[in-house]
Amino acid sequence: MPKNIDFLGCDPEQTAAILERLATDLRKLGLGQHPAPALLREAPLLRGWSFEQRPRPCLTGYMFNHPLIAEGRTGVTSEIYAIDPGRRWVRTLSRFYELGPATLHGLVD
């Protein structure tokens, strides 16, 4: 594993494999292919369930050159999967971000 990238405690190969399986399943579901009964019989059973949210590391800040967020507006990234130890860039679920200064010193009047 490269020593110059922080994967936030995750194994990048294992995470990539998990995300590739998720992408495959989402594509199948999008085509109307439901899970096979045999797959569901082997799957863990969840009872007494409810929806919750788990916080994952992400960043918030002023966005520039973002495809969906107006220039200079605040936004929140998707969850972080890798970050440069020098804090020059971050890779989130959806894209890479170049990181500017972490503080607003000198950026606002």
- The number of folded domains in the chain is 1
pLDDT band, residue 109 (cuts 50/70/90)? very low
Q: What is the pLDDT of residues 17-71, one digit of tens each?
A: 999 999 999 999 999 999 999 999 998 888 888 888 878 899 999 999 999 999 9
Q: Is residue 37 part of a domain?
A: yes
The string of DSSP letters for 4-61 reads TSB-TT--HHHHHHHHHHHHHHHHHHHTT-PPPHHHHHHSPP--S-----------EE
Report if residue 38 sits inside a domain.
yes
Q: pTM of the predicted model, to two decimals?
A: 0.72
pLDDT tens-digit readout, 67-97: 999 999 999 999 998 999 899 999 999 899 9
Domain membership flag for residue 3: no
